[in-house]
A and B are shown apart, each in its own frame.
Chain A
């Protein structure tokens, strides 16, 4: 497990909607782990299938016995997009920025959306290896971001 992951300067400006766990607690474990700078993915305790986002039932075996499994935080770019047109006031001066879809080979190839750190104008190809970066925000939430590995 990489332990050197630390807070980076935030990729996007403050003011975007802050993630909050659902009232029913479905994804509480994910956001709590991110605050501890741990990347976790929901996994079925019966059949070991990963799923993300989390759900109340395993899509593979229909078990409701699900837990959170810590993963390495190493992945590869599955797809990407460079955003030029801001659709939120907080992003007015933040374009272009890069959104990446990262595939996690050690978590059943589930994918996570995040921003890529660094210069958004740099060329990026699908398959590029990346690793997780935890980006702490006030008040009290952490985003899961990615940098080139």
Chain B
């Protein structure tokens, strides 16, 4: 099979300080530039070697503006992954990788910057007087925010597979546990107890406050290049074993009409991903799974084959997710719940750190590291790295 496996690698990672929403001291565009230059520094290449751009979720900081502001002499590739939320976190890396493998560009930077305080918040409805199109079937009924969109799917999943709240608590508690080792994390020094999780207010049932991602300011970036070039650079390459994106049958059907509803949308993607990587889920040492909401994490782990849907209550427990002793350490930087909501690009950076051996919750002998991007949105994406 002709695939991209082992042909490209992530050679550099960078991020700004992660801030509470609305507290970044500089504009979002400066954060984007800073993350990109830091990724180049980490790779040990001059920033002027960057010649391509990939992002997702309608990244505001246009590639042309970045290339112009940074004075890049070569601008050979630009790409935007369709769809909202974090669905494109791995997909943008995949697109960068494809560009490198095709020879369009040599060093493609994948970046994401967010300063929601300077723009609109995702968790608040726009103040429109009228609405048409798909949202006309939901907004007038007070189904408006991402939490409200996805609670409905998660409730159905709980119903079909006898899943209880504790599975979601496990995700939140593991994320907060890991953040306590990570000085970059917004929730560093702010541990979460099981009692506090259950006592936290409902946002929308079945999501408590701690089931929901943070909203933050900051930026993150990583640089994708060929395996050959990566080998000559200082950091240990994180080779791309596989990447996949896509969507299951009619997942965008309006007004919550996806035929297979109680899904996070990875059922057709995951087999393609593992086939390309030529491994199975049992070979994965550590997972970073995008948490818009904890329920989606659980669903995506099921769909990637880490456990059976009807065995969630046995597998999705804190002890399995928590470093250092967990069977499947999950979101080892704290992720979107407790490190920083950088739309899941911080998860890619953490996956790289794990195969470099440089995580603050370093999984012993981690050789294979996986990222899951954007449960319940469409399209979604995933990738697998090896050291």
Contact = CB atoms under 8 A, between A and B. Distances in A.
Q: Bound pair: A and B?
A: yes
Max chain B C-beta neighbours (<10 A), residue from A20, A83, A143: A83
Max chain B C-beta neighbours (<10 A), residue from A51, A87, A94: A87
Max chain B C-beta neighbours (<10 A), residue from A20, A79, A91: A79
A100 B225 CA distance: 48
Max chain B C-beta neighbours (<10 A), residue from A23, A89, A99: A99
Interface in A85-100: 85, 87-89, 91, 94, 96-97, 99
Contact of A112 (B202, B205, B250, B255): B255
A126 B142 contact: no
A81 B148 contact: yes
B155 to A, nearest CB: 5
Contact of A143 (B125, B140, B255, B256): B140
A114 B256 CA distance: 11
A3 to B, nearest CB: 24
A48 interface: no
B26 to A, nearest CB: 28
Interface in B173-209: 201-206
Nearest to B147: A85
A113 B205 contact: no
Interface in B303-325: none
Interface residues of B, number: 43
Contact of B131 (A19, A52, A110, A111): A19
Given A84-B203, A85-B202, A143 B141 contact: yes
A66 to B, nearest CB: 15
Interface in A1-23: 12, 16-23
B139 A83 contact: no
A23 B151 contact: no
Given A111-B256, A113-B137, A113-B255, A99 B152 contact: yes
B118 interface: no
B252 to A, nearest CB: 10
A81 B132 contact: no
Nearest to B135: A17
Contact of A126 (B143, B153, B159, B202): B159
Contacts of A87: 123-125, 144-145, 148
Interface in A59-78: 59, 78
Nearest to B201: A84
Nearest to A53: B254
A80 B155 contact: yes
A82 to B, nearest CB: 4
Interface string A44-55: 000000011100
Contact of A79 (B133, B136, B152, B255): B152
B61 interface: no
Contacts of A22: 132-133
Contacts of B102: none
Contacts of A112: 137, 255
A85 B256 contact: no
Contacts of A101: 152, 156, 256
Interface string B138-170: 111111110110011101100100000000000
Interface string A136-147: 000000010100
Interface string B196-235: 0000011111100000000000000000000000000000
Given A19-B131, A111-B255, A82 B142 contact: no
B142 A97 contact: yes
A97 B140 CA distance: 13
A12 B142 CA distance: 8
7 A-B pairs closest in CB distance: A53-B254, A19-B136, A17-B131, A84-B202, A79-B156, A81-B151, A20-B132
Given A51-B257, A59-B250, 11 more contacts: A18-B129, A20-B130, A20-B136, A21-B132, A27-B132, A81-B152, A84-B202, A96-B202, A115-B142, A126-B155, A143-B141
Interface of A: 12, 16-23, 27, 31, 51-53, 59, 78-85, 87-89, 91, 94, 96-97, 99, 101, 110-115, 126, 143, 145
